[in-house]
Amino acid sequence: MAVTPVSGLRRPAQPRRRRFPWRPWLFLAPLLLLNLVVIVTPSLLSLRYAFTDWTGIGAAQYVGLANFQEMFGDRVFYRAIGNNVRWTLLFLTAPVLMGLLGAYLLSTIRRGQMLFRTLYFIPYVIASVVNAYIWKLILNPVFGIGPWLAERGIPWLDIRFFGRSDTSLYAVAFVDNWHFWGFLVVLYLAAMHAVDAELYEAARIEGANPWHEFWHVTLPGIRPTLVFTLLMIMIWSFLVFDYIYLLTNGGPAQSSEVLGTLTYSTAFYSLRVGYATAIALTMTFFSALFISMFVVLRRLGWEV
């Protein structure tokens, strides 16, 4: 006699396959190991060596807070901080304004926009060593553009820009800005394209001119990108090293010295690794301040 199956009865539960929650960590293990060796371990060691007198060779001698006491009494250290502050102010104004202007002008172009975006972005992808060498040749005091113009009756550019204490920092900032501002143009242009077009139509209906559209529609629309780039510029400005090292090496007479070049010269020229580590920790402190600004703005509800 056949047995009729009863409806509503559940089949016995199949045994669940055993999952392995450690598999994602297995894939991340090489990256985590690299991060541990390259970033975490040197960071922890720097906390130790900042309180020592060490030449980089042999045993380190513990000196307590002596490095920090010397640092806060060092005239060159304060000059380096001042140059970092000036560098930050320069890059919070000139490249940002140029980037906004360039992005706004490009946003009005309908044909050939990609060509201009590529041309603006090319200096940013060229290696800093190549950029620095190009501008060393252009501003060379013997055969650069200054002497060439002076021979033709235009002497006002015949200046040793990298060799004078009153122009060295600004000359390096000019070269770095030439390579950097096109990157901001591309960022701001992408943010402008994301602004709702209906907002511009509503502004035109209300009788807004192009300046009013830019001030009341474009800037609020790209505010997250703008604030993010300003915060990143502040962080990068206190970590700047490459262009100053390549063009002036902090000179002449520490006129373009910043914390990054001061740390390098103290560690590898003066062989005072402990003191240089204390300066590097100060750079980390300033970067942490700017990162905390980012966190505070996020908690206040800003879209950053």
pLDDT per position as a tens digit, 236-245: 998 999 999 9
Number of domains composing the chain:
1
CATH number, residue 172: 1.10.3720.10
Does residue 139 sit within a domain?
A: yes
Does residue 134 sit within a domain?
A: yes
Mean pLDDT, consecutive 10-residue segments, the chain of 304 residues?
53 58 78 88 88 89 92 94 95 94 88 86 92 93 88 85 92 94 93 89 87 90 91 91 93 92 93 93 89 83 70
**pLDDT for the residue 100:** 94
Query: Who contacts 216 (Cβ-Cβ below 8 Å, separation ≥6)?
Result: 203, 208
Containing domain of residue 208, as a range? Answer: 66-299
For the stretch 276-289, what's the b/e string if a residue is b when 16 or more beta carbons lie within 10 angstroms of its beta carbon? Answer: bbbbbbbbeebbee
Does residue 54 sit within a domain?
A: no
Does residue 121 sit within a domain?
A: yes
Say how far apart CA 218 and CA 31 lie, in whole Å. 40
Does residue 227 sit within a domain?
A: yes
**pLDDT for the residue 2:** 52
Residue-wise pLDDT for 254-282, tens only, equals: 999 999 999 999 999 999 999 999 999 99
**pLDDT for the residue 178:** 93
**pLDDT for the residue 302:** 73
Does residue 80 sit within a domain?
A: yes
Q: What is the pTM of this model?
A: 0.85
SS (H, E, C) 221-284: HCHHHHHHHHHHHHHHHCCCCHHHHHHCCCCCCCCCCCHHHHHHHHHHCCCCHHHHHHHHHHHH
**pLDDT for the residue 58:** 85
Region class of 54: left (phi > 0), else alpha (psi between -120 and 50), else beta: beta
Q: Fill in the amino acid letter for 245.
A: Y
**pLDDT for the residue 278:** 93
Tokens of 43: 């960071």
Say how far apart CA 58 and CA 148 lie, in whole Å. 53
Does residue 170 sit within a domain?
A: yes
Say how far apart CA 290 and CA 287 lie, in whole Å. 5
DSSP code at position 72: T
Say how far apart CA 187 and CA 175 lie, in whole Å. 20
Q: Fill in the amino acid letter for 141.
A: P
SS (H, E, C) 99-161: HHHHHHHHHCCCCCHHHHHHHHHHHHHCCHHHHHHHHHHHCCCCCCHHHHHHCCCCHHHCCCC
Does residue 71 sit within a domain?
A: yes
